[in-house]
Chains A and B, each alone.
Chain A
Amino acid sequence: RKEVEQDPGPFNVPEGATVAFNCTYSNSASQSFFWYRQDCRKEPKLLMSVYSSGNEDGRFTAQLNRASQYISLLIRDSKLSDSATYLCVVNMHNFNKFYFGSGTKLNVKP
């Protein structure tokens, strides 16, 4: 079983739609959680951290559910520019080692 699992997609949605991704992790002792965005043939870039209380940044909302060991990302009012792969990232075993999911691909269509 992978440490971090994501639905690979692709999620094909029209502009303006709301879309949600989930990510499950295996280690209940994980402490830090992030969502990264990766454009085709580019490096991953930090989108947002995920806090226990949840957090929101504009159209993006991230939630953490420790009991069920998953994190989620909600994108409202999707834009064409949101088309990318979204990577779930969790730290495991110690604070300095981060484990990435294989990513969920989002295609926003006109």
Chain B
Amino acid sequence: NAGVTQTPKFQVLKTGQSMTLQCAQDMNHEYMSWYRQDPGMGLRLIHYSVGAGITDQGEVPNGYNVSRSTTEDFPLRLLSAAPSQTSVYFCASSYSGGADGYTFGSGTRLTVV
């Protein structure tokens, strides 16, 4: 099992560019989430999904879009990159949501210049 796979691992963007961070899981998990991690801030929830076709906002959704057309994939789209979006992004998935915690991907390190 690959678990949760994120691509790319590293990315540098210019201000104003858009891009999509990919996340795929092969564990048939219904629940998927995107977090960003900044020094001293911990992980903050951006968007989450409880199943294909269902998404909702987390703590810091502005500037990001998500979609969930399949159970396996949960891409995160940056609409117009800003330096404040420089961060490490983690995708996570869970079979049952609250009861058993989340499995994380290895992260995408994004720098916006």
Interface residues of A (CB under 8 A from B): 4, 8, 31-32, 34, 36, 42-46, 49, 87, 89, 91, 95-103
Contacts and interface: CB of A to CB of B under 8 A. Distances in A.
A2 to B, nearest CB: 8
A17 to B, nearest CB: 25
B42 A96 contact: no
B98 interface: yes
Nearest to B57: A97
Contact of A100 (B40, B42, B106): B42
Nearest to B106: A43
B42 A87 contact: yes
B50 A96 contact: yes
B102 interface: yes
A52 to B, nearest CB: 14
A98 B93 CA distance: 12
Given A43-B90, A43-B105, A45-B104, A95 B98 contact: yes
A14 B90 CA distance: 32
